[in-house]
Structure 1
Amino acid sequence: MTAPDHLQTKAIHLKNSWTRHCNKILFMSSTANESFPAIGLDTQEGRDQLYWKTIRAFQYIYKHHFHEADWFLKADDDTYVVVDNLRWMLSNYTPDQPIYFGKRFKLFVKQGYMSGGAGYVLSKESLQRFIEGFHKGICSHKSAVEDLELGQCMENMGVIAGDTRDSEKRESFHPFTPDFHLFGHFPEDNAYYQYSYYPIIEVSLTHIFFC
């Protein structure tokens, strides 16, 4: 997901780095750009348009590319993904399971919902149900809060919010910048504590090694 002004400042770096490890990469924007290329979703720009962009992006993928993949990753143009790690995590699941993954928050939705900032992954079955949710009127665009609304739709359609922690209960999706997660200190009244579905594990920097 990107914007016309971000193609040469943000999206280009994703195009030349981690997205090369995907089977297929689509850049979605409010307007089309044939030279980049970026697909135009015919929306406005702004935070209040994020959910519309996501809805229309998934509708486009369902119409044109649904049978070309088993898993569908939505990420913004300031996100970095280690695709090999993502493939390893997804290898424990099958695309016909109604499940989706990301950084799980716990407020507002009973089973929790995935942070848009960390990106999220829908199985093939989950994408099918997302599209059906709007077709049947079970899901709707009630709010511009993209990740929360998508999470509510997932729950209404019986899609499970998956656990993306590793065998040592460490998170694998992170909604903020690396320096925030590495060097930030989270007081217990911090909103991140209040939102995070799983306990936040903080470690001493003496246990972190850089190569």
Structure 2
Amino acid sequence: MKSSSSRWAFSLGFLVGACCIYFFLRQVWFERSYPVLSEAQEKATAAWERPTSWKKEGSALINLLHPHHADEDSRVADLLYQKVRILCWVMTGPYNLQSRARHVKATWSRHCNVVVFMSSVEDPDFPTVGLGTKEGRDQLYWKTIRAFHYVYEHHANEADWFLKADDDTFVVVDNLRWILSNHTPEEPIYFGKRFKPYTKQGYMSGGAGYVLSKEALKRFVEGFRTKVCTHTTPVEDLALGQCLEKMGVLAGRLQRYFASRNFPSVCARAPSN
């Protein structure tokens, strides 16, 4: 009986010891491998944050490179990059520059022709445009109004389409560019994730992002100049949709470009913490 107990204790100790050694060696391997991966990721991010990747014009960033994987056939994407010019303006704030906006700058915004980060205050180093507003959800429409006015006054001739996105949104810009290639910037139209209530033609979700044609942008600005549009509510996406409807801008449909819900989206919202 005593011998049996000893063998059981030895077997248990051997098993525990073997498991400890296994997990120890696994941890050593992970710690040696992970810094290499981390270093590669940092180098990749740093490469696209170098000044040589951007041409800074005031508070705007002009992309000098259209990024793509080395082994892929990018001829169509490169052609559309020149033909369908997209300005992306990103709504952010001074406290989100390093936690959110920095990563937008290093990832999907590299596929935009022009990138402008809009904040409540100016930051010439990042850079951001200071819109002179406060921060908070009740300021979203004011920031949107002033941002589109700024883009129209300073960059209207540098793009054909004007995308608004938040700093926690990921946009597949090449997919969007392909969709927009079926339209002309002279059409009074805008696209996004459409919600149906409160307006006859619906309105586009602000969180998912939306893109205006050059004519739609012109009419939005004109709406405020002629006082057809005013700041009616802090609910940015609804208020913008109501204004554009008054100005004869069509809420376009993206659904007809996708055969099923299994197709990749143009925009995705990052999960909240």
Same fold (TM over 0.5): yes
1:43 aligns to 2:133 (yes or no): yes
CA RMSD of aligned residues (A): 1.6
Q: CA deviation at 1:174?
A: 5.5
| Distance in structure 2 (CA, Å) of the matches to 1:105 and 1:12 | 30
Q: Structure 2: 5+ residue runs without aligned partners? A: 1-90
Identify the residue that residue 11 of structure 1 maps to in structure 2: 101
Q: Which has the larger radius of gyration?
A: 2
Q: 1:100-115 residue pairs with structure 2 within 5 A? A: 100-115=190-205
Structure with greater contact order relative to length (CA < 8 Å, sep ≥ 6)? 1
- Does the 8 Å CA contact 1:70/1:123 hold for their aligned counterparts? yes
Pick aligned residue for 1:85 from 169, 175, 190: 175
**Number of the residue aligned with 2:232:** 142
- Tell me how far apart the structure 1 counterparts of residues 99 and 269 of structure 2 sit (CA, whole Å): 19
Contact kept in structure 2, 1:116 and 1:175, CA below 8 Å:
no
Give the TM-score normalised by structure 1.
0.81
Aligned: 1:29 with 2:119: yes
Unaligned 5+ segments in structure 1 are 180-211
Contact 2:92-2:167 within 8 A present in 1 as well: yes
Q: Aligned partners of 1:88, 1:11: CA distance in 2, in Å?
A: 25
User: Are 1:117 and 1:175, in contact at CA under 8 Å, matched by a contact in 2?
Assistant: no
Shift of 1:168: 1.1
1:111, 1:161 within 8 Å by CA — same for their partners in 2?
yes
Pick the structure with more strand per residue: 2
Q: Deviations over 1:110-155 (max 9, x none)?
A: 1000000000000000000000000011111010000000000010
- Contact kept, 8 Å, 1:103 with 1:173, in 2: the verdict is no
Distance in structure 2 (CA, Å) of the matches to 1:17 and 1:99: 27
Deviation at residue 169 of structure 1 after TM alignment: 5.0
**Structure 1 segment 49-68 matched on structure 2, within 5 A:** 49-68=139-158
Residue type at the aligned position of 1:100 = Y
Sequence identity of aligned pairs in percent? 64
Bigger share in helix: 2
Counterpart of 2:259?
A: 168
Single out whichever of 117-126 and 162-171 deviates more from structure 2.
162-171
- In 2, the alpha carbon distance for the partners of 1:37 and 1:11 equals 10
C-alpha deviations, 1:78-97, integer Å up to 9, x for none? Answer: 00011110001101100000
Q: Summarize the alignment of residues 111-130 of structure 1 with structure 2, pairs less than 5 Å apart.
A: 111-130=201-220
Q: Deviation of residue 167 (structure 1)?
A: 3.6
The separation in 2 between residues aligned to 1:174 and 1:59, in whole angstroms, is: 24
Please tell me the residue identity of whatever aligns with 1:124: K
Map of 2:161 onto structure 1: 71
1:177 is displaced (CA, Å) by 4.5
